[in-house]
Amino acid sequence: MTAHDEEWDVRQGEVERREEHFADPAEAIAQGRAWAERDGVDLVIHGPHGTVREKPGRE
């Protein structure tokens, strides 16, 4: 299970990627959501059963 986040504001063209591996899918989702909430970023989690993608409510 891999959780990573990317900066969502594409206007500036800068991407920040952070990646960490987890054995437990729930732990990966919780950590990814914590990153997304803290940094205001797009959350993408890739796992064996598909991909979870969430975008923050940015204006």
Give CA–CA dist 28/30, Å, rounded: 6
Distance CA 33, CA 6 (A): 12
pTM value > 0.75: no
**3-53: per-residue pLDDT in tens?**
444 544 433 344 556 677 777 778 877 887 887 777 776 777 766 666 667
